[in-house]
Amino acid sequence: MSRLFRITLWVLLAVGIGMTVVQLLGLMVIEPAMAVLNIVIGGAYLALVLFLLSRLPFWPRGTAWVASALLWGGGTTMIFVFASTPAINLVDTLLPEAVIFSFGGAYPEEIGKAVGILVILLSFRQLNRPWHGLAVGMSVGLGFEVFENIQYGLFGALMDPNSDLIGVAQMWGARVVAGPLLHVAFCALSGWGIGLALYKADWSAWKRLGVAAAGLGAAFLLHFWWNFSPGTDLAYVISLVTCALVLYPAVIWCCVDASRRSHADNSYAYTAVGA
């Protein structure tokens, strides 16, 4: 554990939480009842998914790191999003519209989430195995996904001309069914790469950098691919299905590999209860 990284974590979490609170208050001003409804749905979704993830055999003990990861995903990542506005504006003038939309999703979201994974891994002493990066990544992705779904759910209420409730249901249904745990999956790939890079024994510095970059690169490219629209509805559906057939099996493989490694690990590791 690094004291410097932990201080950095608390500072960035405080800023991120402040930004999230401001955004949520803004949503409540626009449509109070629907904002509260979406927050309740988001809370229930978060609790269910987190419960299921915590049953994974490689899941580390403690709650503080989980809370930090969720808050980073749901709040601190927005710092990177806002800071990237000049770069996004520059890209807008250089690339085709379809590419801009895809690029604007993957960048800077995946970078911001990956930074959070790294900072959190280096802030908690009990996070000291490669598979802990996978767990942290999933938690960061879950925090981001829940907050984004809350926002989209409210937008659905505002856009539906007939019923706010129908708009909320359609938006949540589309995001949960059409792209289940999408950001959890993206961040899982980043986290697995970062976890291996930090904690795998007997690797050179270059190999560590390469594996971390590969994890982040996979998350970035798959996020870009998911958002890319080839031009027709049929081509878009084919693209989504193909992307899903790459993304989800890759994450399942990471989870299986992490479970095997954690089961085979009988070396000493510091663990913390309730921390």
DSSP string, 164-208: HHHHHHHHHHIIIIISTTHHHHHHHHHHHHHHHHHH-TT--HHHH
247-271 pLDDT per residue, tens: 999 999 999 999 999 999 876 555 5
Q: What is d(CA 108, CA 77) in angstroms, rounded to the nearest whole number?
A: 9
- Check: CB of residue 140 under 8 Å from CB of residue 203: no
User: In the predicted model, is pLDDT for residue 245 greater than 60?
Assistant: yes
DSSP-derived secondary structure letter, 272: -
Q: Are the beta carbons of 131 and 58 closer than 8 angstroms?
A: yes
Question: Considering the chain, what percentage of its residues have pLDDT values greater than 70?
Answer: 92
pLDDT tens-place string over residues 104-155: 778 889 999 999 999 999 999 999 999 999 999 999 999 999 999 999 999 9
- Say which amino acid occupies 129: R
Q: At what angle do helices 130-159 and 182-199 cross, to 10 degrees?
A: 160
Q: Which of 193, 195, 200 is CA-nearest to residue 214?
A: 193
What's the one-letter identity of residue 131?
A: W
- Specify the pLDDT at position 103: 76
Q: What is the pLDDT of residue 268?
A: 57
pLDDT at 1: 63
**Cβ atoms within 10 Å of 21's Cβ, excluding its own:** 11
User: Residue 160: its pLDDT value, please?
Assistant: 86
Query: What integer pLDDT is reported at residue 46 of this predicted model?
Result: 98
The share of the chain scoring above pLDDT 90, in percent, equals 72
Give the mean pLDDT of 90-113: 78
Token reading at 7: 């201080």
* pLDDT (tens digit per residue) in 155-186: 999 888 889 999 999 999 999 998 899 999 99
Task: Indicate the pLDDT class of residue 274, thresholds 50, 70 and 90.
Answer: very low
